[in-house]
């Protein structure tokens, strides 16, 4: 049974929906940023909204500040709008070569990308697809590789994180 939100919440959601649509119309992509909590070992994350409408998976990054997330996600989103079709296993560079990322499929997107699913009116079970952009440490190692320098929670492996 679906609960109807209280009027104030519904009004806020309506404003958010309009804002998201306006940003996508103007720039092609909306970036949803969610702040983490270092004390509770919860990573910050950011993801795109708008690429699914172009037939591409949305893009997701963990453990980056809003500025860096926007820079990388906007650059790679522009490549998608120009015809790129990223696939799991691919390695990309962004930000004049300062960001080295590996593309990974996210098996549980419905538990992370709530704004994207709301925008496309999809249930969590029928979520838009998502590709995680995992970035290398200063020595070029990616999360999950031996000797990776960051704490594991900063960039959880695909399927390990849920925003619920």
Write out 105-161 in H/E/C secondary structure. ECCCHHHCCHHHHHHCCCCCCCCCCEEEEEECCCCCCCCCCCCCCCCCCCCCCCCCC
How would residue 144 be classed by pLDDT, with cut points 50, 70 and 90? confident
Look at residue 96 and tell me if it is in a domain: yes
How would residue 3 be classed by pLDDT, with cut points 50, 70 and 90? low
| CB-side neighbour CA atoms (13 Å) of 100 | 8
Coil, strand or helix at 93: strand
What whole-number percentage of the chain has pLDDT above 90? Answer: 81
35 Cβ partners below 8 Å, 6+ apart?
Answer: 44
Look at residue 143 and tell me if it is in a domain: no
| Per-residue pLDDT tens over the stretch 37-66 | 888 889 999 999 999 999 999 999 999 999
123 Cβ partners below 8 Å, 6+ apart?
Answer: 110, 117
| Predicted confidence (pLDDT) at residue 4 exceeds the cutoff of 80 | no
Look at residue 156 and tell me if it is in a domain: no
> Considering the entire predicted model, what is its pTM?
0.92
Look at residue 141 and tell me if it is in a domain: no
Its domain, for residue 20, covers 7-135
Domain count within the chain: 1
Look at residue 28 and tell me if it is in a domain: yes
């Amino acid at each position: 049974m679906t609960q109807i939100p209280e009027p104030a919440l519904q009004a806020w959601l309506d404003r958010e929906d309009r804002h998201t649509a306006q940003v996508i119309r103007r720039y092609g992509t909306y970036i949803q940023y969610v702040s983490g909590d270092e004390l509770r070992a919860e990573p910050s994350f950011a993801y795109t909204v708008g690429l699914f409408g172009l037939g591409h998976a949305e893009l997701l990054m963990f453990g980056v500040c809003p500025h860096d997330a926007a820079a990388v996600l906007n650059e790679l989103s522009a490549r998608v709008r120009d015809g790129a079709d990223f696939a799991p296993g691919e390695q990309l560079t962004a930000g004049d070569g300062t960001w080295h990322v590996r593309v990974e499929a996210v098996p549980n997107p419905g538990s992370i990308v709530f704004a994207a699913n709301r925008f496309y009116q999809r249930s969590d079970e029928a979520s838009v697809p998502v590709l995680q952009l995992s970035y290398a440490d200063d020595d070029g190692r990616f999360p999950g590789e031996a000797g990776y320098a960051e704490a594991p929670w900063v960039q959880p492996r695909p399927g390990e994180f849920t925003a619920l």
